[in-house]
Amino acid sequence: MSGIWIYSEDSAVAKQLLTAGQELKKTMQQPVNVITLNAENVQSLTTAGADKVFLLKGNSIWPESYAGAIAELLSKEQASVVLVGATMRGKDLAAKIAAILKTGLVSDALTVQYANDAIETTRLVYGGLAVRTEASALPALITIPPRTFPETSAAAVQCEIVTVEAANQDSRVTVSNVCPIVREGADIATANKIVCVGRGLAKQEDVKMAEELAAAVGGEIGCTRGISEDYHWLPSDRYIGISGQKVKPELYIGMGISGQVQHVVGIRDSKIIVVIDTNEKAPIFEAADYGIVGDLYEVVPLLTAALEKK
Ligand SMILES: Cc1cc2nc3c(=O)[nH]c(=O)nc-3n(C[C@H](O)[C@H](O)[C@H](O)COP(=O)(O)OP(=O)(O)OC[C@H]3O[C@@H](n4cnc5c(N)ncnc54)[C@H](O)[C@@H]3O)c2cc1C
């Protein structure tokens, strides 16, 4: 077996996976190869520390339809490890590749290392209550969520570009229509400051109060799942947690949020966590750097006014 292979349709995610790939390279002593479907990404990937960049050329614009072609390439090159970005498309693609190659698939790994001739991964299980360590025999196929690793800072090495005609494309599914999601505001996954609302908010109109605080700190608005999925007060791309967005802002301000683990796993990489809740025993205080025990309807307007004055 030879080679640590990386794929994501998002070149920023591919460069994050390269960080993990380069760590594996140190212990496995195998080259790191990147697969891309987009000719425009080739140049930047060649300078990101990859040993080879494989450009798969085909007719389809849907990455998922390249599962057969990618599996064929991995099989021919006898890949040892395949790291796929756990984007929506990446998850779909990885599952198809695993089925074709008849390998296992570890999804949403947070760490990856080579030990005892296997790939050892950790990932959250039971809704984030436990961390499971798993060992996968080679070849190992693993998906890794975006932003789990920083983008690679490795120096460029001599990188070969290989163009492969993707003959084996799946044409059983055709796309009849595409409706892009209209996003309001910025992507909270990359926001630097987030004001997050939970079910401590009594009514939809009160989201405005949180938006005013967000405007005062120059941040974006986020929420817990119930606010989005049950109440429909904010769009689903705004909710944070294990089944929503994972965020890494410099500043997270949460209000009226109890701090259940399913939410906290999505915010724990925030640099500073400030929370406001009436219940001093709410678990959110355990995750917080600064906690205010109080009624958000009193605290938030005072905080906003003070910040606006500054
Ligand atoms: C499989 C699974 C996946 C899930 N995924 C997610 C996920 O990705 N993201 C997510 O967020 N949740 C998720 N959940 C739901 C999660 O378990 C919690 O139910 C949810 O996070 C709780 O939301 P909350 O904190 O807004 O509400 P609550 O738990 O109801 O908390 C409300 C808080 O507001 C406080 N409060 C009330 N009034 C005021 C006031 N006037 N001023 C200040 N504080 C006040 C209360 O003291 C309380 O702490 C998931 C659940 C499951 C089972």
Distance of CA 83 to the CA centre of its chain: 13
- Ligand 1 mean position, distance from CA 80 (Å): 42
- Ligand 1 mean position, distance from CA 301 (Å): 22
Count Cα atoms within 13 angstroms, Cβ side, for 158: 0
Rg of the Cα atoms in the chain: 22
Phi, psi of 36 (to 5 degrees): -135, 150
Residue 1: what pLDDT?
A: 64
pLDDT tens sequence for the chain (310 residues): 689 999 999 999 999 999 999 999 999 999 999 999 999 999 888 888 899 999 999 888 888 889 999 999 999 999 999 999 999 899 999 999 999 999 999 999 999 999 999 999 999 888 778 899 999 999 999 999 988 899 988 777 788 999 999 876 677 777 788 888 777 777 898 899 999 999 999 999 999 999 999 999 999 999 999 999 999 999 989 999 988 888 999 999 999 999 999 999 899 889 999 999 999 999 999 999 999 999 999 999 999 999 998 7
Cβ proximity of 287 and 259 under 8 Å: yes
Q: What is the Cα–Cα distance from 246 to 239, expressed in whole angstroms?
A: 9
Residue 13: what pLDDT?
A: 95
- Closest-CA residue to 264 (of 294, 285, 292, 280): 285
Question: Mind spelling out the 3-state secondary structure of 17-39?
Answer: HHHHHHHHHHHHCCCEEEEECCH
Which of the 8 DSSP states describes residue 269?
A: T
CB burial class (10 A; 0-12, 13-18, 19+) of residue 210? Answer: buried
- Lay out the sheet containing 160-165: strands in order across: 140-144, 81-85, 4-7, 32-36, 52-57, 160-165
Residue 210: what pLDDT?
A: 97
Which of the 8 DSSP states describes residue 294?
A: S
248 lines ligand 1 (CB under 6 A): no
Cβ proximity of 240 and 224 under 8 Å: yes
184 to each of 20, 88, 233, 235, how far by Cα in Å? 33, 20, 13, 8
Taking the CA of residue 282 as reference, the ligand 1 atom at the shortest distance is 49
Other beta carbons less than 10 A from residue 189's beta carbon: 19
Q: Kindly report the protein residue whose alpha carbon is nearest to atom 1 of ligand 1.
A: 127
Domains in the chain and their CATH numbers?
4-165 (3.40.50.620), 188-309 (3.40.50.1220)
- In the three-class reduction of DSSP (H, G, I as helix; E, B as strand; rest coil), residue 64 is classed as helix
Cβ proximity of 144 and 19 under 8 Å: no
Of 277, 280, 286, 302, which is best to mutate to test ligand 1, by the most ligand atoms within 8 angstroms of its C-beta?
Answer: 277
Q: What is the Cα–Cα distance from 26 to 272, expressed in whole angstroms?
A: 33
Residue 182: what pLDDT?
A: 73
- In the three-class reduction of DSSP (H, G, I as helix; E, B as strand; rest coil), residue 174 is classed as coil
Residue 289: what pLDDT?
A: 97
